[in-house]
Amino acid sequence: MGGKSPKEAEQKMEQVLNAWRTLAAEKSFGGMTLKEFEAFVVTSRAKRQLVADLNNQLAEAITERDESDDVVEGKIKLVVAGVVADPTEGSNSALYQEMGYTREADRKSGLHRTKHKEPDTK
């Protein structure tokens, strides 16, 4: 229904259907009977239900994905701790770095010394 929101389109569809059914059920409009128009309404309702079902499935899938990501995040912590603890790898290894972490040898100490500039006396 053009520029109308789905909710507005649904309300208009139901309004026209109810008015036609209540006030002029035996008449034809727009080249169709009430029964023929109702067939279009049934199709529209079915598509609306499909959208609602798919939205519910999407919401459920997103929740399940997020829960799965949380499990994987916990497993990543275990893997990284294992890499750090491994005597042939450790926190200075290329493996550790390629996993997205900063090698211990590349970390800055955190101590920052600023040089004080003497004021110009000229």
CA 2 to chain centre: 27
For residue 1, pLDDT beyond 80 = no
Specify the long-range contacts of residues 29-32, CB closer than 8 Å, at least 24 apart: none
Backbone angles phi, psi at 115, to 5 degrees: -85, 135
105 band by pLDDT with thresholds 50, 70 and 90: confident
The string of pLDDT tens digits covering residues 17-54 is 999 999 999 999 999 999 999 999 999 999 999 999 99
pTM of the model: 0.63
Which residues, other chains included, contact 4 with Cβ-Cβ below 8 Å and sequence gap of 6+? Answer: 12
93 band by pLDDT with thresholds 50, 70 and 90: very high
Give the pLDDT of residue 111. 63
